[in-house]
């Protein structure tokens, strides 16, 4: 069959992707990649790490070692396991702090993301008089929306009035930093808490965390951040940026497994504030006196004071394993590869999108996004589209109904060839849908 310019272009594109993978291979060998269901390639092109990251190969052995400690030691594993359970969470503190640019005393791995947001808002959402609003982005993740509305109701206020949802300008897809700052300059005296996603889950926009934090604090508001899509995706400097508090999960870019433990950051200036309200629990008291079983808590001046219960050991091992990968590779190196990989996918999508009912809604500036490109499908139906990508092309992406499909070329394990497969499959599948 004679070649055509179009088929030649596809072969050249694929050859380029192969060459780039040889020159810039990433760390795919450290991870398990799901197998494809037959077809041309043995593995799927997995671009859904912004929803659930893939497992490091070391995780299985780490989990089995913890299970063996339970099998062999029983309750004595609390003290005698190779990684004693009573202090297991301490193994996660320093690497988690390094990941987000925090100090160890400011960081704790615990609970799930929304639980941590609620515990932190107990301390930091303190409405008083006209200063009672919570400022979020209109496209906040639904759990954040539910959490802030319920916190407002808990204080006897009307969430329809107290929760302010900032929208992009008409005709635009993402928020402008200057519009957030302008709102805080005008209305900041009414805002008690600013709580944005560091990277917006829907559009992939990386918010200007230091600038918005400074604007919130200048207005007298507390600056909190949901870093579910930022931790492990972009470099963070929470302490230096003067963020009041933050929380993040570890099952997306941190690859610690479905429903994995989350983490929290509280800036050190708050840690010894005796007037800060906080819920107490057994593991939030001072470790040196915890087993005195005293009736009154003696919380330390660290983020561990926000802990409630003893940590789930089998859930901590995968987090520890993942954090070791990030310590080894380094966020700056990952960010650099992320920009190269995402830029390559963007270039391919630029060839696919113009002649089809598709629009890339993620900011084009590399500094305003992480490793995600969100594409809008005119007319909706992204659920069916992602199913066809998976079953017909071995491409796993993530749909957000009604009309957004998200592609995340994760720098740890995604390849340039994965990006080529995504763009090629998207073009063919959308054409077959018309």
Question: What is the predicted pLDDT for the residue at 432?
Answer: 63
- Check pLDDT > 60 for residue 12: no
- Closest among 312, 313, 305, 315 to 281, alpha carbons compared: 305
pLDDT tens sequence across 332-358: 999 999 999 999 999 999 999 988 999
On the CB side of 297, how many CA atoms lie within 13 Å of its CA? 18
Closest to 342 measured CA to CA, from 361, 360, 369: 369
Query: Which residues make Cβ contacts (< 8 Å) with residue 142, sequence separation at least 6?
Result: none
pLDDT of residue 361: 97
* pLDDT value at residue 433: 58
Alpha-carbon distance 117 to 312, whole Å? 19
Place of tokens 């492990």: 232
Domains of the chain: 5-57+330-433 (3.90.1150.10), 88-328 (3.40.640.10)
CB-based contact 141:113 (threshold 8 Å): no
For residue 399, the cross-strand partners are 405
* Confidence check: pLDDT of 52 > 60: yes
pLDDT of 188-216, one tens digit each? Answer: 999 999 999 999 999 999 999 999 999 99
Residue 7's pLDDT is 42
Q: Is the pLDDT of residue 6 over 60?
A: no
Q: Give the whole-angstrom CA distance, residue 55 versus residue 313.
A: 18
Q: What is the pTM of this model?
A: 0.95
CA distance 254 to 325: 9
pLDDT band at 3 (very low <50, low <70, confident <90, very high): very low
Give tens-digit pLDDT for 282-300.
999 999 999 899 999 999 9
Helix pair 209-218, 177-187: axis angle to 10 deg: 10
Q: With a cut of 60, say whether residue 365 has pLDDT above it.
A: yes
Q: Residue 5 pLDDT > 60, yes or no?
A: no
| Cα 159-187-275 angle, rounded to 5 deg | 70
Q: What is the pLDDT of residues 389-430, one digit of tens each?
A: 999 999 999 999 999 999 999 999 999 999 999 999 999 999
What does the pLDDT read at residue 13?
Answer: 83
Q: Which residues contact 229 (CB under 8 A, 6 or more apart)?
A: 50, 197, 198, 199, 200, 201, 204, 252, 253, 370, 372
């Amino acid at each position: 069959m004679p070649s055509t310019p179009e088929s030649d272009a596809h072969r050249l594109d694929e050859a380029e992707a192969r060459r780039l993978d040889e020159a810039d291979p990433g760390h795919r060998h450290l991870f398990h990649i799901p197998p494809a269901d037959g077809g041309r390639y043995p593995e799927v092109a997995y671009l859904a790490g912004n929803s659930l990251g893939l497992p490091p190969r070391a995780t299985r052995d780490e989990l089995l070692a913890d299970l063996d400690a339970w099998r062999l030691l029983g309750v004595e594993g609390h003290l005698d396991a190779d990684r004693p359970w009573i202090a297991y969470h301490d193994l996660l503190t320093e690497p988690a702090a390094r990941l987000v640019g925090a100090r160890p005393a400011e960081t704790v791995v615990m609970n799930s993301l929304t639980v941590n947001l609620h515990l932190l808002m107990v301390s930091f959402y303190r409405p008083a008089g006209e200063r009672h609003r919570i400022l979020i982005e209109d496209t906040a993740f639904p759990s954040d929306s539910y959490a802030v509305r319920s916190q407002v109701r808990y204080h006897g206020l009307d969430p329809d009035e107290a929760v302010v949802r900032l929208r992009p300008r008409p005709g635009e897809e993402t928020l402008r930093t200057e519009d957030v700052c302008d709102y805080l300059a005008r209305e900041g005296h009414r805002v008690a808490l600013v709580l944005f996603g560091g990277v917006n889950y829907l559009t992939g926009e990386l918010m200007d965390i230091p600038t918005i934090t400074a604007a919130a604090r200048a207005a007298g508001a507390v600056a909190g951040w949901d870093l579910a899509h930022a931790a492990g995706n972009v470099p963070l400097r929470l302490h230096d940026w003067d963020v009041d508090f933050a929380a993040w999960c570890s099952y997306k870019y941190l690859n610690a497994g479905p429903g994995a433990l989350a983490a929290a950051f509280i800036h050190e200036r708050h840690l010894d504030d005796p007037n800060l309200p906080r819920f107490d629990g057994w593991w939030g008291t001072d470790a040196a006196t915890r087993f005195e079983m005293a009736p009154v808590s003696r919380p330390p001046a660290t983020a561990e004071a926000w802990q409630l219960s003893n940590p789930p050991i089998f859930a901590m091992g995968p987090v520890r394993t993942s954090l070791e990968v990030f310590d080894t590779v380094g966020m700056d190196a990952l960010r650099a590869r992320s920009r190269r990989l995402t830029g390559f996918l963007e270039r391919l999508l630029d060839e696919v999108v113009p002649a089809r009912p598709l629009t890339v809604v993620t900011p084009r500036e590399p500094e305003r996004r992480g490793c995600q490109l969100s594409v809008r499908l005119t007319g909706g139906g992204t659920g069916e589209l992602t199913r066809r990508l998976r079953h017909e092309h071995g491409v796993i992406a993530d749909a957000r109904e009604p009309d957004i499909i998200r592609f995340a070329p994760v720098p740890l394990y995604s390849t340039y060839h994965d990006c080529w497969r995504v763009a090629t499959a998207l073009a063919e599948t959308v054409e077959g849908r018309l």
